Amino acid sequence: MKASERRLVELRAAIPEVTPAQALALQAEGAVLIDVREPDEVAQGSPPGAERLVRGFLELRVEDAVPDKAARVCVMCAGGVRSLFAAEGLKQLGYTHVSSVAGGFNRWKNEGLPVEVPRVLDAHMRERYGRHLLMPEVGEAGQLKLGASKVLLLGAGGLGSPAALYLAAAGVGTLGIVDHDRVDRSNLQRQILHSDDRVGTPKVESARRTLLALNPAIEVRAIEARVDSSNVEDLFKGYDLVVDGSDNFPTRYLVNDACVRLGLPNVHGSIYRFEGQVSVFWPSYPARRGPCYRCLFPAPPPPELAPSCAEAGVLGVLPGVIGTLEAIETIKLLLGIGDPLVGRLLHYDALQQRFTELALAPDPDCAYCGDGKPFPGYVDYEVFCSTAGATVR
């Protein structure tokens, strides 16, 4: 007898076995059914409600999935052999009520017991997102969540470029990009979605090509439009979150007002010369009440006080920092991890190389997000920062 065969005999003697029908009945009584098969096997079907913990990572991950060591646990593989080894591993971790499903999933299926085809990442996605899958804060469930997410980006310019690139790379399944402009050579100092051979091309089309070259598995909606009071709500509907990479006050207020009205998180970034700032305006954030943009700035400044676009200028790398921070906030919000910049504003000074945080309080009397206020309507403010080539965004 080979050593492996001897080991199997020992395990059969040590690990209690249950039939698939018994495992199903135990599951209904609260037992945890763990499917330890490989992802490509699970993708063909798995018992509904089973914990899917691949054998190779079982010991590392089981304590998060089943914290109670006294819980009744049934381990299942394809034929009932790997599950014996897996059950033995669980016993060594201190689980006291472990059994193995005799005949495994093959017998489960042959006996006509319930099967579901779970949403899983395919082999290409596992390879692409491998570094995400290694982190329990993302993992397969988080990656699937990103894949099902829909993010709308306002502007395919300086801020929108890094934000869109990183969101596409991270596997955010649907990216809508709104911009009415065309690529100008003076954009290329900072707008890294575009390239010299795209000068004259609509920015959203250039963005779509760049993003799909990076990650062909996502959907990119190129929306060549100027946002105004007549279309803002239609443009925003159906998205989970809006990333504001706009360069002008009229758009910024429309983004704020539509996000407040639709309950969407508004990931805000802005830049000026060597400085930038990031925040998340989301008054309906469940964990704490934060302000909207109008709580801080109830109305735009008069045109003569706004910085002149031609004079403003910006360090080309700066939107790279701020737009990337917007991408990070976006991914945190989509995954529901960490502490978002709700009620906080992060200011960045590139010359001093310094980040400063400011606490932002909501205004209870805010006309847009104040309690019980009727929605005052959208406003089309005068566009005083023109969209000519000198525009900084």
* Site residues for Zn ion per CB under 5 A: 292, 294-295, 366, 368-369
Q: How far is the CB of 365 from Zn ion (least distance, A)?
A: 9
Q: How far is the CB of 380 from Zn ion (least distance, A)?
A: 19
Q: Which is nearer to Zn ion, 108 or 282 (CB)?
A: 282
String of DSSP letters for 367-378 = TTTSTTPPP---
Q: What is the Cβ-side half-sphere exposure of residue 198, based on CA atoms within 13 angstroms?
A: 21
Q: Which is nearer to Zn ion, 171 or 290 (CB)?
A: 290
Q: How far is the CB of 270 from Zn ion (least distance, A)?
A: 17
* Cβ contact 334:172 at 8 Å: yes
First to last CA, the chain: 74
Measure the CA–CA gap between 157 and 247, rounded to whole angstroms. 9
Residue nearest to Zn ion (CB): 366
Residues in the chain: 393
Q: Which is nearer to Zn ion, 272 or 375 (CB)?
A: 375
Place of tokens 């201190």: 94
Q: Which is nearer to Zn ion, 47 or 362 (CB)?
A: 362
Order of strands across the sheet that contains 72-76: 17-18, 97-101, 72-76, 32-35, 51-52
Q: How far is the CB of 292 from Zn ion (least distance, A)?
A: 3
Measure the CA–CA gap between 152 and 17, rounded to whole angstroms. 51
Q: Which is nearer to Zn ion, 257 or 326 (CB)?
A: 257
Q: Which is nearer to Zn ion, 171 or 340 (CB)?
A: 340
* Cβ contact 355:277 at 8 Å: no
Residue 334 identity: L
* Cβ contact 205:178 at 8 Å: no
